Amino acid sequence: MPGNDNILAQLSLGALAPALPPSPRTSDPEVSAWLEEVRKVTEESLGEAWRSLSLLRNYVSQPTRQVDDEDYTATDEDFIILVDAATAARTVTLPLAANSLYHIYVVKRLNSAANDVIVARSGSDTIDGAASYTIDTQYKAINLTSDGTEWWVF
C-alpha cells in the first residue's frame, strides 16, 4: 500500500517525540543545540531498543532441555526444561539467584507416574520463600525468575 513507509516513520518518530526538547525558533546556535539534543535522545532510544531486542533474541534462541534419567542443574543457557520422572523422582537445581538476575526458567513435568519433579534452590536461596517447589501433576509447568536474592514462581 502506498504511504506505508511514511506511516512507519511517523510511528517511530512519535515514540521519540515526548522525550525531545521543544524546537527552538530563534538563532542558529539554538538550532544546533536542539539538533544535538535530538541526536542524543535518538541514540539513547535506539540503544535501549537494540538492548531489548538482544535480550529477547537470547531468550527466544535458548534451547529446550529434556531431562529423562537423572537429576539436572540448570545453566545460564537453559530456558525451557522438560522433565520426565517416569522411572524416579527428578530434581532440577537452579543456579544461585545472585548470579541469575532476571533470568527466566520454565520447568515442565511430562510424566504421569507417581514420581514428582522437584525444583530445588542453590545455597540458601528460596523459591517463593521455600527451599524447593514440587511439580506433582503431569503437564504442569512453572515459570521462575530471580530478583538477585531469591527465585519467584509466576
- The predicted-structure confidence for 66-80, as pLDDT tens digits, reads as follows 998 899 999 988 999
> Is residue 69 domain-shared with residue 111, that is, in the same domain?
yes
Q: Range of 110's domain?
A: 63-153
Predicted confidence at residue 21, as pLDDT, reads 62
Strand partners, 133: 119
Q: Do 121 and 140 belong to one domain?
A: yes
Q: What is the pLDDT of residues 9-19, one digit of tens each?
A: 444 444 545 55
Rg of the chain, C-alpha, whole Å: 24
Tell me, yes or no, whether 129 and 73 share the same domain. Answer: yes
pLDDT: which is higher, 65 or 94? 94
Q: How high is the pLDDT of residue 90?
A: 97
- Does residue 60 surpass a pLDDT of 70? no
pLDDT computed for residue 57 by the predictor: 67
Q: 55 with 103, same domain?
A: no
Give how many domains the chain has, as a whole number.
Answer: 2
Same domain membership, residue 90 and residue 121: yes
28 and 90 in a single domain? The answer is no
Confidence (pTM) = 0.62
pLDDT tier for residue 47 given thresholds of 50, 70 and 90: confident
21 vs 135, more confident: 135
pLDDT digits (tens, 9 = 90+) for 77-121: 899 999 999 999 999 999 999 999 999 999 999 999 999 999 999
29 shares a domain with 98: no
Please state at what angle helix 4-16 crosses helix 28-60, rounded to 10 degrees: 100
51 and 90 belong to one structural domain: no
Q: Are residues 53 and 72 in the same domain?
A: no
Specify the DSSP class assigned to residue 127: B
Closest to 127 measured CA to CA, from 99, 96, 87: 96
- Spatial separation of the C-alpha atoms in residues 53 and 49, rounded to whole Å: 6
Specify the pLDDT at position 1.
42
In sign, the C-alpha dihedral spanning 142, 99, 90, 58 is positive
